[in-house]
Amino acid sequence: QDPQSGGTLNFVAPYGSSFGTLDIHSTPATQDEFPAKAIHRSLYDWNSAEGKPELELATNVEVSDDGKVFTYTLRDAKFHDGKELTAGDIIYSYQRIAHPDNAFPGARYVSGVVGIDEFVDGSADSISGLKAIDDKTLEISYKEPVAEPGYELMRVNAAIYPEGAAEAADFQTSPVGLGPFKFVENIPGSRITVEKFEDFYEDGKPYLDKINIVLLDDASARDVAFRNQEIDVSVLGPSQYVAYQADDALKDNILEVAEVYTRHVGFNPDYEPFQKKEVRQAINHAINTDLIIERLVKNKAYRATGWLPISSPAYNKDAVPYAYDVEKAKQLLADAGYEDGIEFEITATQNESWGLTIVEAIIPMLADAGIRVTAKPVEASVLAEVVPAGDHQAFMWSNVSGPDPYATMKCFYSETTRAACNYWAFDNAEFDAVFDEATAEADPAKKTALLSQANDIVQEEAPSWFFNYNKAVMAYQPWLHGLQQNATELAIQNYEDLWIDDTAPDSRK
Amino acid sequence: MTPLLELKGLHVGIPARRGNVDIVTDVGFSILEGEAFGLVGESGSGKSLTALSLIRLLKKPLKVTAGQILFKGEDLRALSDREMRKLRGARIAMIFQEPMTALNPLKTVGRQIAEMFVLHQGKSWAEAERLAIGALADVQVPAPEERVRAYPFQMSGGMRQRVMIAIALACDPDLLIADEPTTALDVTVQDEVLKLIAQLCSARGTAVLLISHDLGVIANMCQRVGVMYSGRLVEERDTYDIFADPQHPYTKGLLGALPRLGSRHGEGGRQRLVDIDSLITDKASLLQEFYHEPRHKIRDPRVRAGGAA
Amino acid sequence: MKDMATAPLLDIRDLHVHFPVGGQFLSRNKRTLHAVAGVNLSLAEGECLSIVGESGCGKSTTALAVMGLQEPTSGDILFEGGSIIGADAPDRMARARIAQMVFQDPYASLNPRQTVWRSLAAPLRLHGTTAKSEIEDRIADILQKVDLRPEHAARYPHEFSGGQRQRIGIARALILNPRILMLDEPVSALDVSVRAQIINLLLDLQEELSLSFVMISHDLGVVEHMSDRVAVMYFGQIVELGPWSAIFANPTHPYTRKLIATIPDPDTVLHPDRKVTAHAAPEPPEGYRFHPETVGRPDVYAAPEPSELVEIEPGHFIRAQRR
Amino acid sequence: MRGFNFNLWVGGILTLVVICGAVFAPLLTSLDPVFDANLMNAELPPGREFWFGTDAQGRDIFTRVLYGAQISLTVGVVSQVINSVIGLTLGISAAYWGGWWDDLVNGLTNVMLAIPSLIFALAIMAILGPGLPSLLIALGLTNWSWTCRIARSSTLSLKGQGYVQAAQTLGYGDIRIMATQLLPNMVGPILVISTLGIGAAVLAEAALSFLGLGIRPPFPSWGSMLTNARELIVIAPWATIFPGLAIFITVLGFNLLGDGLRDYLDPHMRTREQ
Amino acid sequence: MLRFTIRRLLQMIPTIFAVALLIFVIFSVIPGSFASSLMSDGRTNADPETLARINAEFGLDKPVHVRFGEYIVGLVQFDLGTSFRFREPVTEVIGDRVWASLKLSVAAMVFAIVVGVPLGFIAALRPGSILDTATMVGAVSGLSMPQFWLGLLLMYFFALQLGWLPSFGYGGGDPLYLILPAITLGVTPLALLARTTRAGVLEIMNEDFIRTAHSKGMSNARVVRWHLMRNVMVLVVTTIGLQFGSMMGQAVVIEKLFAWPGIGLLLVDSVAIRDIPVVQGTILVIVVWFLVINTFVDIIYAAIDPRIKQT
Ligand SMILES: Nc1ncnc2c1ncn2[C@@H]1O[C@H](COP(=O)(O)OP(=O)(O)OP(=O)(O)O)[C@@H](O)[C@H]1O
Ligand SMILES: Nc1ncnc2c1ncn2[C@@H]1O[C@H](COP(=O)(O)OP(=O)(O)OP(=O)(O)O)[C@@H](O)[C@H]1O
Ligand SMILES: [Mg+2]
Ligand SMILES: [Mg+2]
């Protein structure tokens, strides 16, 4: 079936009940990406089919031999206000992101560029590593060699604004970008509406005339709304996953993808029992992880072996997860000197996929092995504060583990601080050696192999109970086509590829 | 001469499947036109119930269980509710004890008086409110033109009771029932209000049924007195006779128990008062004994006009 | 009457009690109500002094001030010559043994959650009588004095009639053997028959225990029956004060006369000539006049105009203004 | 004559049933609400073995509802006791002593009334973190204003009563008067409002759970059971129906009991019995 | 009347300041921060430098008393600070949402009044009847249900099973979307109103002045119209005011359930992500709403009840 143009899409933004600012540079919230993805574009974009970043606003990039200088040839593209894209717009956008007055999350994407330090401390007005050779040619120089700048520059927080646009008083209320859709209206707390941008740089796209991005974070309400055909897509939780699979009318329109998140219970080595590897392994053995995934998570997840997820290029397909073996667990505990078992507290949020629901399920299992666990519920914002601070005995979280395996594994490097992302205060000489080697390695394939090896060490050391890699599941109405299997975040779609067919109800035409 | 109101064998009680529980038992008396009849008795003796049963305002579950209530020869118990309503307020009016609560706090007193004219005389509101000024003037409320717009809370107890009187007398009733109209008032105010009632009623020829437990009030106001005790009428006489020569032991006790002004003589020791309870050793026989005391004895009040103040 | 030369048992000197009224946040009509405006009274040992006057004239407030339940605005109250208010006043405990009070409403004056026994025993314990037998004796004794039976002690107030409650109230007031009893309308809430019993009881007790009474009432019949001396109060001030016989036989102040005249008296049926109003109104004393407004309503929010108590015959005072 | 007090009886019986369920939970079920979880039994419908079915964790809902009664009653009763203690202490002392203390308490009461208690509780829960002690504190600190008002107005009216004045003249100390003369005589209205308050606390627990700030799992609280099972409503409706019913019946019981007590204690309201 | 109104309005000020102080203190000791909430979904890794920068940008590194001082200075100029998340003045953020909340509250209250008051009246006129019993049992039941549970049931029934009404959201102002949330929110005040009205009618019926009215010879209907109605209204107006005033606070749960974009939803969200200026502002608005409504009720009260104005 060929794509057809026209129609309205009711897309859903499920991660909160409001959109924050429309200035996407300033917000790292996933929720804010839903409208931003329609309105804005970045230099790179994620290619879901191939699982890697690719050039978006440039037609070509030349990399210097030392891997430090990237020269981009920009494509012909127009902003919503009719302005032509130039290298100046990109430099403007990146300097805005990095500007010391702005506490923008994207600042670190350009923190490796030459001249950034002078810019940040105020001694320079511009970043010297960003150069416009001409209107359509941009040169970015890095301080160190960079394998793939796309992993960071594809982020929508690094979107390209027309030069000076953000200084306009009404930018907040009517943002301008390069994206396939123009901003139309924002009903705070309810929805944002965007409409087709006729001058979008890809021919024939976008297909849709209009998208309503509606806010709906309550799963039950979303369920009703989806069944009621009020929305065209819905992100499903485990129980709905089962219900939808069991429902003949719904089961054919479910999209699944292995996302790059690892769900786990991290152990804090400051808590004495966790200093023993045997204890950590014992916990991995004491939990019937497969059963939880099957019965509680309803198979809406993939069993985790080590840290790196299935969709990671460095994933070890042959790795075997810790087996469920209570006796072995008891044995390991005894070996570590804890014949009478241990007790500890897991700090977790209410989240049903990586929070208290799971903790509740492992409590009786661990009890069988003599491990007494209590749950300490916290709010998400508190979890994100206590974990980097190390104020816990153990924590349950879902952490990004891709798509870039190098950035991911770096978190286990002993020099990475806890406050950055080494939440386990992981410090293993063997690991460090392998990782140093990977850092120095220029050949991508070998680098990947080394990272895979490092991942195996992490698995063996068991700084966490490795639970699962998320399987993101989205239900969509039968008339919707063109959804992509985005492993970085399934709900974030390139709207320009979506289209609806004639079977759509009248309200979508 | 037919009496204005005649009660015969009135029983008030709570109807029950197995026999009624009577609270007021076999009460009978009559009131002549223009006469003031007093009802005394201790608290709970059934004075109020007797009065309320006359105008059918008893609250559930109380009911008149037997007897006749003849008003101008017509039995009120046989009237329909609608007919009774016409009579109520217009022909038989009532004033209650608590002037603080008997008036609607949210309406001007003028309005509350005017209601009577609208209800019973079919007047328009505008006209009725004008008449209300006159009614207020009749009860000697100063500056009635302004006072009609006042709310009850803006008036003293005595003023409010005057307003109640104005309401009661608005339609020139034949009978005014006043149930302890002054117990809540100060002595000096009580005196004024009582004088007002006496004066207005005698001017209009309205008969009064005055309920009180204050013998002094009854003595000053009424030509005849009925004494109630435990739901029964134990003595009913001319006022003078009852004070000069009480017959029933209860009445005697009542008079003896009262510390009366001017009853103390000399500097010497203070006498003890009569203790009724010690007189009444056997309540049942007390009631029995005087049960057949001649009642319904009607005398023309004008015959001994000098007897009362 | 007792010898007045020695210091009186109780001496109220120039008592003022003012209440702020309308004192709401940001409201402008804040005023001061002069509830008691300069009262002087003294009470002799074994005497019954009555205060009469219409509602709101400050009778209860005066009594409350004596009892220490109401802070006086100014003035002094002396017991046997020593001040019982202000800085060097005796504490609550000592004060409790000086004067006790019987309240008007027998229904509100007993704690419905306490048995009679507790109501009577608690003050005894508080004042140091701890022996159980002694407490029992005292309670039995006092109940008998007020004509109640010892077994009544186990009951709760709601199991008693109004008259019986008033007896309990009196028993409680007497349990600490106070010197003075304040009676705030002790019988006005009671039925005629019961009223007589309580009056008799009070008279008996006074003789038996040689108590001193301050009685507040607006029932002139009761006042005449019980008092040695009578004070007539009118809007915060005493307008006439004298032996009962003088007040009732020779009321001089216009307000007193009015008060007596308006009492509905059954005897007027029998003796219409005995009305006070039958006598000619007496003249004010030489050089004085009565306040022209004394029979209307003075402004209670202003301090009263200066006037003084003039002795017109021994022990008989009336309030008048100097001409 | 006193007729059948429908509210009091029905409320009393419902409350009694809930209390019995809580107290005798270990006798009524042999299972453990936390540790007897078997994921193989997850989401079984009600049947002979599991009367109310099982939840997503494979735990017996009947057992959890019974043990949940312990938690709900604890939440309701303890938080209400805290409320009553605060409200009574402040209300009685403010009215008794008056002056600046009264003004202060009044101001505080107004502030507490103006901030919706759910929002206040939400804030306290956010500070203390979810869990039973926090919940008790949050609900105990936020609902005393009505009790305080009632205590204050009762004290104001009782203060003028003869027996309170008598106690003062007999030499009783202030605290003793408050404790022996004032407090026992406002038991009626306080009991009524406390009974209603218990019901309200149970509801508030559910609302806070819904907002993500409830009790610490895995202990069964009805609110968290309801919230967690909400998404199962299509595939396992029993997991929501029974805890929901339990809340409903408990709160209904306390509300009826409160109404019944009010009717019983306040003769003015005894109109139903005509 | 004007003086009365102004005085009542001025009386609100100390309460507002006390509330401002209280919530400021509470939310300055709350764990978690806006910066930490940004990384709470684990999608980005912690970045201490950015966190520090964010905290500095919002002035969170200053001592509490300084911040409170600044807050109060802003408050008297009707400036509630700047939202962390929206990067807009809080007044604007709230302004965007407050209409939705108002709409919901008014609709719920209208529903509660239109149904509750007549029900209570009818029930009271025949006490003990089946209708009375049913109304009262219904009312207690309405008060005994978790609101979100009721909302969920309604949602499933009317939106999913019957398909009559949309299940969630604002619908850009389409009144159809208002029905379910308004009914859910209105149940509690409805039940309370029915009960108060009934109790009020029964209470007033026992008043002496009603007996006076009967003694004047009025029919029952007249007594109700001339003497009962207005006096009952005095009682009912208080309940209406209290309920209406606290409605914005109550609406939190309902707005969350129905994704109704009011300030209740904004509040819950903002607490979760620690957008403290918005939290403070929202609570303040809810409190001011409560105070204003109650002041307004007092004024109405004074208009109906002549006794009030005088004091
Ligand atoms: N609704 C009722 N049900 C049962 N008994 C009642 C009811 N109303 C009044 N009574 C009783 O009827 C008796 C007579 O009451 P009534 O009001 O007539 O007395 P009263 O003589 O007017 O007394 P008071 O002087 O106190 O007004 C009292 O004992 C009272 O308890
Ligand atoms: N606590 C108070 N606050 C304000 N005003 C008061 C207070 N107590 C008494 N008053 C006022 O003081 C005046 C005197 O009151 P008091 O109770 O002494 O009168 P009373 O002579 O005992 O009257 P009654 O015969 O009615 O008992 C009255 O106008 C009363 O309203
Ligand atoms: Mg009576
Ligand atoms: Mg008094």
Chains D and C touch, contact meaning at least 3 pairs of CB atoms under 8 angstroms apart: yes
- Pairwise CA distance, residues C278 & A454, whole Å: 123
What values do phi and psi take at A103, rounded to 5? Answer: -90, 75
Report whether residue B63 contacts ligand 1, using a CB cutoff of 6 Å: no
Between D134 and C282, residue with greater pLDDT: D134
Chains A and E touch, contact meaning at least 3 pairs of CB atoms under 8 angstroms apart: yes
Q: Is the pLDDT of residue D41 over 50?
A: yes
Which residues on chain A are in Cβ contact (under 8 Å) with E33?
381, 385
Of C203, C226, C263, the CB nearest to B187: C263
- Span(s) in chain E for CATH 1.10.3720.10: 92-304
The predicted-structure confidence for C252-275, as pLDDT tens digits, reads as follows 888 888 888 887 777 766 776 655
The predicted-structure confidence for D154-171, as pLDDT tens digits, reads as follows 999 888 888 999 998 998
Which domains are delineated in chain C? Answer: 10-92+212-322 (3.40.50.300)
User: Which ligand is nearest to the Cα of residue B39, counting in written order?
Assistant: 1
Chains E and B touch, contact meaning at least 3 pairs of CB atoms under 8 angstroms apart: yes
- Binding partners of C (≥3 Cβ pairs within 8 A): B, D, E
The predicted-structure confidence for A238-287, as pLDDT tens digits, reads as follows 878 888 998 898 989 999 998 889 999 999 999 999 999 999 999 999 99
- Binding partners of D (≥3 Cβ pairs within 8 A): A, C, E
Tell me if D40 and A295 make a contact (CB, 8 A cut-off): yes
Q: Please tell me the predicted confidence (pLDDT) of residue E281.
A: 92
Instruction: Please report whether residue D33 resides in a domain.
Output: no
Which residues on chain D are in Cβ contact (under 8 Å) with C105?
162
Q: Please tell me the predicted confidence (pLDDT) of residue C170.
A: 93
Tell me if C192 and B244 make a contact (CB, 8 A cut-off): no
Residue having the nearest C-alpha atom to atom 5 of ligand 2 = C19
Mutate to test the pocket of ligand 2, among C51, C59, C73 (most ligand atoms within 8 A of CB): C59
Residue (of C186, E150, C208) closest to D248 by Cα position: E150
What values do phi and psi take at C141, rounded to 5? Answer: -60, -45
Tell me if D231 and A239 make a contact (CB, 8 A cut-off): yes
User: Which ligand is nearest to the Cα of residue C15, counting in written order?
Assistant: 2
Q: Please tell me the predicted confidence (pLDDT) of residue B303.
A: 34
pLDDT band at B308 (very low <50, low <70, confident <90, very high): very low
Q: Which of B185, B196, B261, B278 best probes binding to C when mutated, by most C CB atoms within 10 angstroms?
A: B261
How many other CB atoms sit within 10 Å of the CB of residue C269?
24
The two three-digit tokens of residue C56, written as one number: 């709101």
| d(CA C171, nearest CA chain B) in Å | 20
Q: Is the pLDDT of residue C225 over 60?
A: yes
Instruction: Please report whether residue D29 resides in a domain.
Output: no
Mean per-residue pLDDT over chain B, rounded? 82
Domain range for D123 is 6-19+59-273
Q: Please tell me the predicted confidence (pLDDT) of residue B307.
A: 33
> Strand A499-500 relative to strand C10-21: parallel, antiparallel, unpaired?
unpaired
For residue D226, give the CATH number of its domain. 1.10.3720.10
Tell me if D173 and C92 make a contact (CB, 8 A cut-off): yes
Of A104, A190, A385, the CB nearest to E169: A190
Tell me if D35 and A359 make a contact (CB, 8 A cut-off): no
Tell which B residues from 47 to 66 touch C, by Cβ distance under 8 Å: none
Q: Which of C64, C79, C111, C125 best probes binding to D when mutated, by most D CB atoms within 10 angstroms?
A: C111
Q: Does C22 touch chain E (CB under 8 A)?
A: yes
Tell me if E311 and C24 make a contact (CB, 8 A cut-off): yes
For residue E222, what are the CA distances in angstroms to B118, E80, E225?
Answer: 12, 53, 5
| d(CA E15, nearest CA chain D) in Å | 6
Residue percentage of chain C with pLDDT more than 90: 29
Between E250 and A92, residue with greater pLDDT: A92
Q: Does D210 touch chain E (CB under 8 A)?
A: yes
- Pairwise CA distance, residues E213 & B219, whole Å: 30
Mean per-residue pLDDT over chain A, rounded? 90
Task: Using the mean position of ligand 3's atoms as its centre, give its distance from the Cα of residue B47 in Å.
Answer: 6
Report whether residue B39 contacts ligand 1, using a CB cutoff of 6 Å: no
The predicted-structure confidence for C230-245, as pLDDT tens digits, reads as follows 999 988 899 999 998 8
Q: Does B277 touch chain C (CB under 8 A)?
A: yes
Residue A460, classified by CB atoms within 10 Å of its CB into exposed (0-12), middle (13-18) or buried (19+), is middle
Give one DSSP letter per residue of chain E, joined into a string.
-HHHHHHHHHHHHHHHHHHHHHHHHHHHS-SS-HHHHHTTTSSS---HHHHHHHHHHTTTTS-HHHHHHHHHHHHHTT---B-TTT-SBHHHHHHHHHHHHHHHHHHHHHHHHHHHHHHHHHHHHSTTSHHHHHHHHHHHHHHTS-HHHHHHHHIIIIIIIS--S--SS-GGG-THHHHHHHHHHHHHHHHHHHHHHHHHHHHHHTSHHHHHHHHTT--HHHIIIIIIHHHHHHHHHHHHHHHHHHHHHHHHHHHHHHT--SHHHHHHHHHHTT-HHHHHHHHHHHHHHHHHHHHHHHHHHHHH-HHHHH-
Instruction: Please report whether residue D248 resides in a domain.
Output: yes
Residue percentage of chain E with pLDDT more than 90: 16
Mean per-residue pLDDT over chain D, rounded? 85
Strand (E) positions, A314-369? 342-348
Is the dihedral angle over the CA atoms D49, D51, D54, D59 positive or is it negative? Answer: negative
Instruction: Please report whether residue D186 resides in a domain.
Output: yes
Tell me if E219 and B101 make a contact (CB, 8 A cut-off): no
Tell me if E11 and C22 make a contact (CB, 8 A cut-off): no
Of C113, C114, C127, the CB nearest to D171: C127
Task: Using the mean position of ligand 3's atoms as its centre, give its distance from the Cα of residue B48 in Å.
Answer: 4
Mean per-residue pLDDT over chain C, rounded? 84
Chain D residue closest in CA terms to C91: D171
Q: Is the pLDDT of residue C1 over 70?
A: no
pLDDT band at B254 (very low <50, low <70, confident <90, very high): confident
The predicted-structure confidence for A412-441, as pLDDT tens digits, reads as follows 999 998 888 899 999 999 999 999 998 888
The predicted-structure confidence for D110-126, as pLDDT tens digits, reads as follows 888 888 888 888 888 88
Tell me if D210 and E156 make a contact (CB, 8 A cut-off): no
pLDDT band at B133 (very low <50, low <70, confident <90, very high): very high
How many other CB atoms sit within 10 Å of the CB of residue A292?
21
Between C266 and B195, residue with greater pLDDT: B195
Q: Please tell me the predicted confidence (pLDDT) of residue D270.
A: 40
Point out the least confidently predicted range of A195-204, B272-281, E7-16.
B272-281
Task: Using the mean position of ligand 4's atoms as its centre, give its distance from the Cα of residue C60 in Å.
Answer: 4
pLDDT band at B268 (very low <50, low <70, confident <90, very high): low
pLDDT, mean of residues A201-207: 89
pLDDT, mean of residues B65-69: 89
Tell me if E231 and B164 make a contact (CB, 8 A cut-off): no
Which residues on chain C are in Cβ contact (under 8 Å) with E10?
26
Q: Please tell me the predicted confidence (pLDDT) of residue B302.
A: 34
Chains E and D touch, contact meaning at least 3 pairs of CB atoms under 8 angstroms apart: yes
The number of residues in chain E equals 311
Q: Is the pLDDT of residue B296 over 50?
A: no
The predicted model scores a pTM of 0.84
- Top CATH class of E92-304 equals mainly alpha
Cβ proximity of C300 and C236 under 8 Å: yes
pLDDT, mean of residues E82-107: 89
- Binding partners of E (≥3 Cβ pairs within 8 A): A, B, C, D
Q: Please tell me the predicted confidence (pLDDT) of residue C312.
A: 87
- Pairwise CA distance, residues A406 & A449, whole Å: 11
User: Which ligand is nearest to the Cα of residue B14, counting in written order?
Assistant: 1
Tell me if D228 and A357 make a contact (CB, 8 A cut-off): yes
Q: Please tell me the predicted confidence (pLDDT) of residue C298.
A: 65
Between C156 and E161, residue with greater pLDDT: C156
Q: Please tell me the predicted confidence (pLDDT) of residue E87.
A: 83
CA dihedral A158, A159, A164, A166 (to 10 degrees): -90
Residue having the nearest C-alpha atom to atom 1 of ligand 2 = C19
Q: Does C82 touch chain E (CB under 8 A)?
A: no
Q: Please tell me the predicted confidence (pLDDT) of residue A434.
A: 94
Residue having the nearest C-alpha atom to atom 14 of ligand 2 = C58
DSSP character for C51? E
Mean per-residue pLDDT over chain E, rounded? 85
pLDDT band at C88 (very low <50, low <70, confident <90, very high): confident
The predicted-structure confidence for E287-297, as pLDDT tens digits, reads as follows 998 999 888 88
Atom of ligand 1 nearest to the CA of B61: 1
Q: Please tell me the predicted confidence (pLDDT) of residue D271.
A: 36
Q: Which residues pair with A84 in a beta bridge?
A: A78
For residue E175, what are the CA distances in angstroms to C12, C318, D264, E182?
Answer: 75, 80, 45, 10
Count of domains for chain D: 1
How many other CB atoms sit within 10 Å of the CB of residue C192?
22
Residue A274, classified by CB atoms within 10 Å of its CB into exposed (0-12), middle (13-18) or buried (19+), is buried
Atom of ligand 2 nearest to the CA of C59: 21
